[in-house]
């Protein structure tokens, strides 16, 4: 608590109680009159003992006391009062001959001295200084209290913050532990999926290899039967054998796609890069599809410059890419449909374009057209196969350093664009005519 009961620093005389102590009634009354003229509340006592009794009962803010009094002099009174209120301003009144005693009073804790004889201003001045002392001590006490309150609030906030940090740290640790646990579960699941995928790839490769041999034997046997080696066949028998032969071809294509997929996924795909004549590859593909093209009366045009530079590519995989794209166009074109195949040099690449006026591909289907096991829906044709053809074609283009892309509009047709490195690019980067990439 503040040592003085003042909330307002503008200390007013009417709020200050002054205790006047002197065994001489005339001096006591004179001092009292001077102090009261300033508006102060005054208490008076004729002895040190009486002064202590009044102080204990009523208190006082300032004490003015004579030094030389019987029974209890001013020094002893000062000591007793300061024991009760250490900050109490005590003004001692002394005669000229009592200066040594006054010095002792100051050493005992007195605040100021008034010498006899005195004028009113001699009394008012130390009282004014004492009131200033009270004001400063009150301000200091208030500041100390505010600092203590601020310190308590800071300590409370510090403890609260520490508690929150501790709580959040604990929550973060728990979250981190949970994330680590889930990460281990995910890693375990990924490991299991990889193992499953590896076994799946191995199984596909093994099954495909095992099926290719009996299919080849069956196809040879059907070919021999249709050639009449075992004797003439009736028309229904020939038709049945042709259906079986077509089914074997489709099954063989599916097996080959699965084999290619297993090689791609296992990283065992081998690519042989060498100069390749693209017009010859395109001509061979059109010859392969000639029967279907004629059957549907399709108009297929090619626009290839005579000076087209050779592509530096894997011939078999390039033929696979083009056969898949051109084959799809032939499959989905209506009777009498049109297809245009072009090729031209573009920087250090050769760009081939296969455009048709077929049913086209919807935008949502374009987004997944090169994904594995995705079949592109059309309104005009039943979808066959596993949905691997274009996915494998894209991989084949990528491993050769090329690209494959498509644009399409429903009802107007599609355009597939394939780019492959040209021999000019290879000559600019390497002197090796044959590359093997595993």
On the question of pLDDT at 102 being above 80, the answer is no
- pLDDT-derived band of residue 367, with 50, 70 and 90 as boundaries? confident
Q: List pLDDT tens digits, range 109-131.
A: 999 999 888 899 999 999 999 98
Question: How many CA atoms, within 13 angstroms, populate the side-chain half-sphere of residue 281?
Answer: 23
Q: List pLDDT tens digits, range 403-437.
A: 999 999 998 999 999 999 997 555 444 433 344 44
Predicted local confidence at residue 209, as pLDDT: 60
Predicted TM-score of the model (pTM)? 0.50
Predicted local confidence at residue 429, as pLDDT: 42
* pLDDT top residue among 37 and 245: 37
On the question of pLDDT at 49 being above 80, the answer is yes
The mean-pLDDT minimum among 25-39, 57-71, 384-398 falls in: 384-398
Give kind and range of the element (H or E) at residue 311.
Answer: strand 311-313
In angstroms, the CA 288 to CA 299 distance is: 16
Confirm if 235 and 242 have CB atoms less than 8 A apart: no
On the question of pLDDT at 63 being above 90, the answer is yes
Q: Which residues pair with 417 in a beta bridge?
A: 353, 405
Of 97, 61, 82, 74, nearest to 23 by C-alpha is 74
In angstroms, the CA 195 to CA 188 distance is: 11
Query: How does the average pLDDT of the chain come out, rounded?
Result: 83
* Burial state string for 393-429 with b = 16 or more CB within 10 A and e = fewer than 16: bbbbbebbbbebebebeeeebbebbbbbbbbbbbeee
Of 394, 413, 396, nearest to 405 by C-alpha is 394
In angstroms, the CA 343 to CA 417 distance is: 10
For residue 114, the 8-state DSSP code is E
HEC readout, 209-236: HHHHHHHHHHHHHHHHHHCCCCCCCCHH
On the question of pLDDT at 11 being above 80, the answer is no
Block residue for tokens 């209120």: 85
Q: Is 206 exposed, middle or buried (0-12, 13-18, 19+ CB in 10 A)?
A: exposed
Predicted local confidence at residue 427, as pLDDT: 47
Dihedral sign for Cα atoms in the order 374, 377, 378, 384: positive
Q: List pLDDT tens digits, range 163-217.
A: 888 888 888 889 888 998 898 888 888 888 777 666 666 666 666 566 667 777 8
The backbone region for 193, taken as left when phi is positive above 0, alpha when psi lies in -120 to 50, beta otherwise, is alpha
Confirm if 337 and 363 have CB atoms less than 8 A apart: no
In angstroms, the CA 266 to CA 253 distance is: 20
Mean pLDDT of 328-350: 92
- pLDDT-derived band of residue 98, with 50, 70 and 90 as boundaries? low
């Amino acid at each position: 608590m503040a040592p003085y009961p003042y909330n307002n620093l503008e200390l007013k005389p009417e709020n200050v109680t002054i205790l006047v102590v002197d065994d001489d009634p005339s001096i006591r009354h004179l001092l009292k009159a001077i102090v009261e003229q300033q508006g102060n509340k005054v208490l008076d006592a004729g002895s040190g003992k009486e002064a202590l009794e009044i102080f204990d009962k009523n208190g006082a803010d300032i004490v003015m006391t004579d030094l030389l009094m019987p029974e209890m002099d001013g020094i002893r009174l000062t000591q007793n009062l300061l024991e009760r209120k250490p900050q109490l301003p005590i003004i001692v009144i002394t005669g000229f001959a009592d200066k040594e005693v006054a010095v002792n009073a100051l050493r005992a804790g007195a605040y100021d001295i008034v010498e006899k004889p005195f004028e009113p201003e001699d009394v008012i001045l130390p009282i004014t200084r004492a009131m200033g002392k009270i004001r400063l001590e009150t301000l200091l006490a208030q500041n100390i209290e505010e600092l203590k309150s601020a310190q308590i609030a800071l300590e409370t906030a510090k403890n609260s913050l520490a508690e929150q940090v501790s709580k959040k740290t604990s929550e973060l640790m728990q979250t981190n532990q949970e994330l680590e646990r889930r990460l281990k579960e995910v890693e375990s699941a990924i490991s299991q999926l990889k193992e499953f995928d590896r076994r799946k790839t191995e199984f596909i490769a093994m099954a495909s290899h095992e099926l290719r041999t009996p299919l080849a034997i069956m196809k040879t046997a059907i070919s021999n039967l249709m050639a009449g080696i075992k004797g003439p066949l009736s028309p229904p028998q020939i038709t049945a054998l042709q259906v079986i032969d077509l089914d074997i071809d489709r099954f063989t294509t599916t097996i080959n796609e699965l084999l290619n997929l297993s090689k791609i996924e296992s990283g065992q795909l081998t690519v042989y890069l060498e100069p390749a004549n693209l017009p010859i590859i395109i001509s061979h593909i059109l010859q392969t599809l000639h029967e279907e093209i004629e059957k549907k009366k399709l108009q297929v045009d090619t626009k290839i410059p005579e000076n087209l530079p050779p592509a530096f590519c894997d011939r078999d995989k390039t033929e696979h890419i083009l056969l898949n794209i051109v084959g799809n166009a032939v499959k989905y074109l209506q009777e009498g449909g049109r297809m245009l195949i072009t090729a031209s040099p573009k920087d250090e690449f050769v760009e081939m374009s296969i455009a048709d006026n077929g049913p086209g591909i919807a935008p949502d289907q374009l987004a997944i057209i090169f994904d594995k096991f995705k079949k592109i829906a059309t309104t005009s044709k039943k979808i066959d196969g596993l949905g691997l053809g274009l996915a494998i074609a894209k991989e084949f283009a990528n491993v050769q350093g090329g690209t494959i892309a498509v644009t399409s509009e429903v009802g107007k047709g599609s355009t597939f664009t394939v780019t492959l490195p040209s021999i000019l690019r290879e000559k600019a980067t390497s002197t090796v005519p044959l590359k093997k990439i595993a």
